Chains A and B, each alone.
Chain A
């Protein structure tokens, strides 16, 4: 059974710092990996999707990498801003077309 783990569970940084969020998964037979953002009490917003054949994807200040063989992904956020404060979720798509989610990293960026 696929298990997805995210560390750290919480992170507090001053504005302007570059930061890295980590995600690991136990079964490397994935179709893709997605990073989502969740604001308190709200839905999930898709940030980046990396296909299993890709190594990384970039969108603005966000860069996500994927090492499928070792079961790891990182989300790099450059020049963090207070508006980046949210919970970041990593999810992998397995056979059966279901997403398996990690527990999230709760990020606080202080002005």
Chain B
């Protein structure tokens, strides 16, 4: 069964460094998402992406964050200058060959980011 994959599974970085988290969504999906979960807290929406542009973003997704679909298969989240509070599990999700309101979002296994 097709699945969403994410790399790396773990990343440790120094505060102020740039990180890029990578995702390969399910191949025929049209909508792509990033969520994060700080340890012990709820899963939070960051951004949704459709037709090569951001369709929605939360207040968490400030100028330090960006997303890109550089080719037909990868979807990336970049954090330009990491802060301690960016430490979290980052989940990529994809969904919808048609109307996203009718279909589930499929989540990847996550990248655990630790900022020191």
A46: Cβ under 8 A from any B Cβ? yes
Interface of B is mostly: strand
- A interface size (C-beta, 8 A): 24
Residues of B within 8 Å of A102, CB to CB, are 42
A43–B45 touching, CB < 8 Å: no
Contact partner, B105, options A41, A46, A103, Cβ 8 Å: A46
- B interface size (C-beta, 8 A): 27
A101–B108 touching, CB < 8 Å: no
A44–B31 touching, CB < 8 Å: no
Interface of A is mostly: strand
B42–A43 touching, CB < 8 Å: no
Interface string of B36-53 (1 = CB under 8 A from A): 000001111100101000
B45–A44 touching, CB < 8 Å: no
Give me the interface of A with B, judged by CB distance under 8 Å: 31-32, 34, 36, 41-46, 49, 51, 89, 91, 93, 96-104
Give me the interface of B with A, judged by CB distance under 8 Å: 4, 31, 33, 35, 41-45, 48, 50, 55-56, 58, 91, 100-110, 112
